[in-house]
Amino acid sequence: MPAYLRTTSSSWASAVLEAMRLEGLDTGQLCTDVGLDKRLLREPEARFEQDMMTRLWHLAVQRSGNPALGLNLARVVRPAYFNLVGYAMMSSPSLLEAFKRIVRFQRIMGESSDLDLRLEPQQVALVLAFHGDQLPVPSQVHEAAMAYLLAFCRWMTGRELVPQQARFAAPAPADAVPYETLFGCPLVFSSTEYALVFDRAEVNKQLSSGNDRLAQMHDHMASEYLAQFAQNRVTHQARQTLCRLLPQGEPKRDAVAEAMRMSTRTLQRRLQEEGTSYQQLLDDTRRELALQYLAEPELTLLEIAYLLGFADPSNFFRAFRRWYAVPPGQYREQHLNSPNPKEA
């Protein structure tokens, strides 16, 4: 079970459902069938589990018979569907700066997203990846984000912005015409990634909606939203507490609860509500910290074991083998390329 369940904002879920409605689908029935409460769509702070959205996409594609359903998102462009991020992008001085903002604030729209911006001398690549919890994210989720982003950029610029290339990790569809019509550029299927590639000079052009004062205001609001969102996650708070207590030895559940000023029973219940348990969170936190510590060549494996709260280093070695199928020293040498001479 994951340490927490990834969620999607109600604003983006609303955009997805509107795109499905335009396909002629009964969105009310779709929501009922996957357990999505449509009443929550009107709540700006509401969130929906990514796996629920994945089931929604699978069912919508099945009922519509349209594997290119994700492209419909290009037809429902509204800044509000991107929540605060849409307005932050609009107030940016250029598309390039807008891209930087969506990468920075992407978790507001969805915790499943992993957007990256690759800058090259002549090109800019906006790379999109999405991750689920128990269910793999379908290609339609990636294509929906690509379609919406491109349409939103065209709306902001007021011109028919054409990428230099659109890349898809999925195989070529039986009918590529909808993709050719929307993107209007060379398409690469069975790629290693989903990405929109633009001419750098094109995305450096000034946006007429750019406004430094508004941009700063939106940045502040988006940053506060993310900070509050993280604080509201008991999983996040518990993980921070574990990181602080682990060097003193393996923390007991009641010690973590006391540090968080809640009862042990409340901590257990809240973690369960967020899709994890104390033992799972402890294991996940140790696993993630182990890689961070291994990347620091001055730390010996024994020191890392103690920093992770293992009284017996052999327990650390066994745990690491369970996590990554190799001993920590071998992992450090093969993956991090930083063997520690102290351990030779």
List, in order, residues 6 or more apart from 335 with CB less than 8 Å away.
none
* Same domain for 237 and 194: no
SS3 of residue 190 by DSSP: coil
* Same domain for 214 and 170: yes
* Same domain for 174 and 245: no
Cut 0.75: pTM above it: no
pLDDT-based confidence at 333, cuts 50/70/90?
confident
* Contact by Cβ (8 Å): 25, 63: yes
* Same domain for 318 and 257: yes
The total of structural domains in the chain comes to 2
217: in domain: yes
pLDDT tens by residue, 3-56: 457 889 999 999 999 999 999 999 999 999 999 999 889 888 789 999 999 999
List, in order, residues 6 or more apart from 79 with CB less than 8 Å away.
86, 87, 89, 90, 152
For residue 211, how far is the Cα from the chain centroid? Answer: 27
**Number of C-beta neighbours around residue 72 at 10 A:** 26
Q: How far apart are CA 64 and CA 67, in angstroms?
A: 8
* Same domain for 209 and 62: yes
* Domain C-terminal end among 169, 192, 227: 227
Q: How far apart are CA 76 and CA 18, in angstroms?
A: 7
- Predicted pLDDT of residue 73: 98
**Number of C-beta neighbours around residue 16 at 10 A:** 26
In Å, how far are 48, 301, 324, 326 from 321, measured between CA atoms?
35, 13, 5, 5
Phi and psi dihedrals of 238, rounded to 5?
-65, -40
- Predicted pLDDT of residue 342: 41
* Domain C-terminal end among 227, 262, 290: 227
Q: What is the CATH number of the domain that holds 88?
A: 3.90.1520
Amino acid at 209: S
* Same domain for 329 and 245: yes
Mean pLDDT for 164-174 is 98
- Predicted pLDDT of residue 2: 44
Owning domain of residue 257: 233-343
pLDDT tens by residue, 117-140: 999 899 999 999 998 888 999 999
* Same domain for 56 and 136: yes
> 54-63, 136-145, 191-200, 221-230: which has the minimum mean pLDDT?
221-230
Ranges 196-200, 209-213, 330-334, most confident: 196-200
* Same domain for 212 and 198: yes
1: in domain: no
* Domain C-terminal end among 176, 206, 227: 227
Residue 113 has pLDDT above 70, yes or no: yes
Give the H/E segment covering residue 198: strand 194-199
pLDDT tens by residue, 84-109: 899 999 999 999 999 999 999 998 99
- Predicted pLDDT of residue 23: 98
